[in-house]
Copies of this chain bind each other. A is one copy, B any other.
Amino acid sequence: MDRQQRRRQWERTVEPGLLAASLLFLAAYSVRVLVPDLSPGWHAFWAIVTAVTWAVFIADYLARLLLSDHRLRFARRHWLDLMVTVLPLLRPLRMIDTYDRVQRRRDHPRLALEARVMTYAGLTALLLGYAAALAVYHDEHHAPHADIRTFGDSVWWAASTLTTTGYGDATPVTPRGRVVGVGLMFVGVALVGAVVGSFSSWLVRRFRQDGEA
């Protein structure tokens, strides 16, 4: 019991730090992918930022594991946390806790249920889409016979994948790019589906109120 409480407290304490670390990690990854000819000094700087933030994620996971009463059960139940620690670009998937705590801390009335679901699912989809566009651009833009040559192409591809439009005018051709693409399709279809569903029920509720007023 005692340990469980200490874990909860730990999670509450490190939350803002982890959020900052996630954004730093994404910034470092963005710079390294999008700016090809960094000066050696800057290159080292961003490499260190990547290493430090990654170490922070691993330390956090281990701390929570050690503060659990049943470590095996913790590992099994929080498999998503482990995955997100190994592949920090997937961090937005865990944002649901952060997002909720940030909302809770503020005093003024919170958003309506649908607006919260839309904000959470929409932000997560946007962050994952951006991360996927970076990863695919990184893998593809030097590949032979690639369609995706600029970061703009990659963002265009990511948007058409997230919304399941799928034009197919620019698609990944390398195995790694396609693995990222398959992941984005499945995660995107679920998150964007949640946004659409919430928007739809918000619209229905709004029209219903008008009808009663």
Contacts and interface: CB of A to CB of B under 8 A. Distances in A.
Interface residues of A, number: 49
Interface string A182-213: 10011011101111111111011011101100
A198 B196 CA distance: 12
Given A169-B171, A207-B120, A193 B194 contact: no
Copies in the complex: 4
B178 A156 contact: yes
Contact of A166 (B152, B167, B189, B194): B167
A152 B160 CA distance: 21
Given A165-B166, A168-B166, A206-B96, A200 B193 contact: yes
A171 B152 CA distance: 14
Given A165-B161, A165-B165, A198 B189 contact: no
A116 interface: yes
Interface of A: 96, 100, 104, 110, 113, 116-117, 120-121, 152, 155-156, 159-161, 163-169, 171, 175, 178, 181-182, 185-186, 188-190, 192-201, 203-204, 206-208, 210-211
24 contacts: A96-B206, A104-B210, A116-B211, A117-B204, A120-B203, A120-B207, A121-B203, A155-B182, A156-B178, A159-B186, A160-B185, A163-B164, A164-B165, A165-B166, A165-B185, A167-B167, A168-B169, A169-B171, A190-B200, A193-B197, A194-B196, A194-B204, A197-B197, A197-B204
